[in-house]
Amino acid sequence: MGKGNFGPLTGVDVLDISTMIAAPYGATLLADLGANVTKIELPNKGDTLRTVGPWKNGESLRWPGLARNKKSITLDIRSEDGKEIFKKLIGQTDILIENFRPGTLEKWGLDYETLKEENPQLIMVRISGYGQTGPYSAKAGFGTPGTAFSGHTYIQGYPDRPPVSPSYSLLDYITGVYTAFAAVSALYHRDTMDGEPIGQMVEMGLYESLFRMLEFLIAEYDQSGKVRERSPGLAGHSSPAGTYETKDGKFVVLVCSTDPTFERLAEAMERTDMLQDERYSANAARLKNDHEVQKIVMDWIEQHTLQELQEKLDAFGVPVSPILSIADIFEDPHYKARENIVEVEHPRLGTVKVPGIVPKFSDTPGAIRHRAPELGEHTEEILGGQLGLSQEELVSLKEKGVI
């Protein structure tokens, strides 16, 4: 567990009413860097992520890493009593993060304009499948369908086989990074602008986070009319580039994204003659002759064990990496030195290993201050201690199913 509470976002109050991965992950990133994040969950149900695998002994193994550093309260914000309590919490909140289908909060009378009446400085970050506007805004959206909609899935896989979706929730996690980025950008604007600080609403569709990364597809189709098809590697970008097998049966990824990198590779292979050959001397030429280039590199790599290859290419400054399994990562000294894997407490499993905090700040490094919360673990602390509700009021709310 981390020490202290000195992250760069210490003192920032966040309400997380989102579920599953994308938006909650964004809130967790803020919490890792010191923000005080309160997660609001439905009584007796909680975030659906609590029931998503993988599991051990019936416990979700996603929850400890994705919900760490948050406090949990149960509150049905659809009920009248719940709405009133929610509005009081909004009055003490810097950032609200939500991912309901567009129109849901409006239906409950909790639209942004209404919430701004409670707190004009409120920043509201809204994540949905297709965004708050447009003809598809009302459609249900999850990460894997959103990945297909973004254009990403179309270019993944082999040309003679169906397109391949990511084997994990890639789009959700990328959108989570955008969620955190949006939140702190709006916070910076609010707190540095001249005059009275005023909040704003920020929103995006899941698919947009990956689509933003495909600028090469957009420009290529716009300027040349080319529809890029599936390929298992960096086809059409750099040569050589791809996955290669070593003498001892290990797989590595090597990419020469620049001509100077290829020059160093040629030196390492003792094939400096290629640098004088117009077929290989520049990346554009190598792409035209990619098959021959790949054959040369593949044959050379097959003559070396993984350790030999790594040592030689490291010495020449050529980017190469073994393809690591999670078992490899657990034993890797660099992961250990960077504290990329840390332990958090778990009320029933003892401890669970989770990713460490990134990025690393020199003076305000953030910390894992507390484990992922049990459902409603902090309800009394926050509603009683923070909002001043009496014990009798809390009991009454619980009997009515509001908390």
Nearest to 127 by CA among 19, 14, 29, 9: 19
Question: Residue 75: what residue type?
Answer: L
- List CB contacts of 190: < 8 A, sequence separation 6 or more: 121, 123, 197, 198, 199, 200
- Choose, from 16, 94, 172, 259, the residue flagged as catalytic: 172
Beta-bridge mates of residue 59: 56
| Six token digits for residue 218 | 């957009």
DSSP label at residue 258: S
Active site (annotated) includes residue 363:
no
DSSP labels, 209-224: HHHTT-HHHHHHHHHH
Q: φ and ψ at 348, to 5 degrees? A: -125, -25
DSSP labels, 95-140: EEEE-PPTTHHHHTT--HHHHHHH-TT-EEEEEESS-SSSTTTTS-
Nearest to 125 by CA among 201, 21, 26, 35: 201
Report whether the peptide linkage leading into residue 240 is cis, meaning its omega lies within 30 degrees of zero: yes
- List CB contacts of 318: < 8 A, sequence separation 6 or more: 254, 256, 261, 264, 265, 268
Alpha helices (runs of H) in 143-169, residue ranges in sequence order = 143-150
Nearest to 31 by CA among 366, 361, 351: 366
Active site residues: 172
